[in-house]
């Protein structure tokens, strides 16, 4: 089976199973992946991502085959993390005299 046939046959459900297996090192039935299986599965995940990943997470392969790195700010926005700024922090200013430094 060539790469095109593999990617055409891989459904999102199959991709998710393979991706999870690579992440945890086990197949859904609990059996451990061999190193050869892990290597092949990881390559399949990356190939699938290069074709279908339009919403790339931090350091993943996005559609077109480019590796996507998201900044910390982008990840916080994606996960809905809001910065907590205390009012007391806004009023704290360090002041130094000319001779203090």
Residues 43-95 have pLDDT tens digits of 888 888 888 766 655 566 777 777 777 777 776 777 676 665 555 555 666 67
Q: How many CB atoms lie within 10 A of CB 69?
A: 11
**What distance in Å separates the CA atoms of residue 61 and residue 45, rounded to the nearest whole number?**
9
Number of domains into which the chain is organized? 1
> Whole-model pTM?
0.54
The two structure tokens encoding residue 97: 């005299």
All residues at 6 or more sequence positions from 63 whose CB lies less than 8 Å from its CB, including other chains:
49, 50, 51, 52, 53, 54, 56
Look up the domain containing 42 and give its range.
3-100
The dihedrals phi and psi of 26, each to the nearest 5 degrees, come to -140, 150
């Amino acid at each position: 089976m060539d790469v095109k046939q593999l990617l055409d046959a891989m459904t999102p459900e199959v991709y998710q199973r393979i991706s999870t297996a690579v992440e945890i090192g086990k197949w859904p039935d609990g059996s451990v992946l061999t190193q050869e299986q892990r290597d092949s599965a990881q390559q399949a995940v990356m190939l699938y991502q290069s074709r279908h990943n339009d919403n790339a997470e931090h350091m993943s392969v996005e559609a077109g085959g480019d590796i996507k790195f998201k900044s910390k700010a982008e990840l916080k926005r994606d996960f809905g993390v809001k910065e907590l700024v205390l009012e007391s922090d806004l009023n704290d200013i360090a002041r130094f005299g000319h001779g203090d430094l």
